[in-house]
Structure 1
Amino acid sequence: MNNPETDQTVVVLRAAAVPLASVQGTLALDLQPRFDPPDPIVPHGHAAADVIAIEQPLRRGLEQWARRYTQAAVEIVGGDRPVSQLLRWSSREVYENLDRRAQLVARAGRHQPGQGRVQPVRPRVLGVHTCFLSRDAVEVSAHVRYGERSRALAARFEITGQRWCCTALEFA
C-alpha cells in the first residue's frame, strides 16, 4: 500500500487469530469432553480416609452405631426426644450443647423440648462416613436431610471406660 503524500509503503499487520479457550475465567466450566479413564475406585472394604487400618466388622458396627447416635441427636435438637437419652454416650460438653440447642429450637417453635410433636418434616440421617484416627478415636461426618434441605454433622467419638462416647458434635 502506497501513501501518495509521503511515497512510503505502509504495511498493515494483523494479529494472528487466537482460538477461544473453552475455559475462560477462574470459575468457568470446562466443557471439553474427557477421554482419560476415571481415577481408580478404592477397593470395597478399604476406607481411604483412615489414619490406621481397621477391621471391617469394627468399622461397620461403629458406622451403624454412629448413624443411630446422630439420628437421636437431630431428633433431640428438633424436640422429638429428651436429651437424657444420650447422656450415657455423650461428654458433659456435648450433652450441654445438645440441651442448649433443643431449648433454643423449642423456644423458636413455641413447644416443649423432648415432648414430641407433630412435624411436617422429620430429619433423616442419609449417610455416615468414618475416619479412624486410632483404635479408640474416630471422627464421623453425617448427611442429614430435613425435607428438601440438607445439613451436615461432624462428631468425634472416643472410648471412655468400656464404651464409645461423643466428645465433640458440630452442626452445619
Structure 2
Amino acid sequence: MSIAVPESAPRPPAGGYTWRQDRTVAALTGKNEMERVGAIARSIGQAAVEILAGTRPASQLSRWTEPEVVERFTQRAAMLKLVQEQCPDRRAVFEVHRAARIRRIRVCSPAPGCYEASLVVEESTRARAVALRIERIARQWRVTHLEVG
C-alpha cells in the first residue's frame, strides 16, 4: 500500500527573509545602507573603547579599518597600559573605559559611499565621544578615521 503525498510549494522562511535578496547594491541604498553603517559604527566604537581599556586587542580592528588606525590604537593602548603600571595609586582614573555602553549614534552622509558617524559612549564616571568616517572601498565598508575623545 502506498500513500500519495501532495507536493507543496517551498515555504518562505519565517519573517519573510529571502536569502541574498537584500545583498544587491540597489537594496543597500538609502535607509538600509544607513542602518548598516550605523551598526558598523556601533560595533567599531565599542571595540575602540574596549581596546583603550585593555580588554580587547587592537588587531581586532584590522578587518574593518585602515592599517594606520590599528597602529594608532595599538600605540595608544600600550601607552595607557604603561601609565597604569607606573601610577598604581591612580587606578580609579583608569577604570573609566570599563563597562562602556553606546548611548547614541548619529550618522550622516557628506558624499555618496561615504558616511560620518558620531557616538556618545557612557562610562561609569563620564561620557565620551567617538567619531568615525566610514567609506565604501572596493565593495567593502572601511573605517578610514577613528577618534575617541
In the alignment, does 2:88 pair up with 1:141? no
How big is the shift at 1:78? Answer: 1.0
Other-structure match for 1:96: 71
Structure 1-normalised TM-score?
Answer: 0.60
Query: Which structure: greater helix fraction?
Result: 2
Greater Cα radius of gyration, structure 1 or 2: 1
- Alignment of 1:128 with 2:110, yes or no, is no
**Per-residue deviation, 1:58:** 1.4
Counterpart residue identity of residue 84, structure 2? G
1:57 and 2:32 matched: yes
Amino acid at match of 2:78: Q
Instruction: Label 1:77 to 1:159 Cα distance change in 2 as closer, same or farther (>3 A).
Output: same
Among 122, 125, 136, the alignment partner of 1:159 is 136
Contact 2:99 2:123 in 1 (8 A): yes
Matched residue, 1:150 = 127
The answer as to 2:110 corresponding to 1:110 is no
1:5-44 aligned within 5 A: none
Partner of 2:24: none
After superposing on structure 2, the runs of 4+ consecutive aligned residues of structure 1 that deviate more than 4 Å are none
Taking the aligned partners of 1:138 and 1:122, their CA distance within structure 2 comes to 27
Aligned equivalents of 2:69, 2:36: Cα separation in 1: 22
Shift of the alpha carbon at 1:120? 9.1
Change (3 A) 1:95 1:139: same
Q: Distance in 1 between matches of 2:104 and 2:147?
A: 16
| Shift, 1:153, TM fit | 1.0
> How far apart are residue 64 of structure 1 and its match?
1.4
Counterpart CA distance in 2 for 1:168 and 1:120 is: 20
Contact 2:64–2:141 (8 Å) recurs in 1: yes
In the alignment of these two chains, the number of paired residues is: 113
Q: Report the Cα offset of residue 119 of structure 1.
A: 8.5
The AA in structure 2 aligned to 1:82 is P
- Taking only the aligned residue pairs, the percentage that are identical comes to 32
Cα deviation for residue 69 of structure 1 reads 1.0
Q: 2: distance between equivalents of 1:109 and 1:122?
A: 18
TM-score of the aligned structures, taking structure 2 as reference length: 0.68
**Are 2:68 and 1:85 equivalent residues in the alignment?**
no
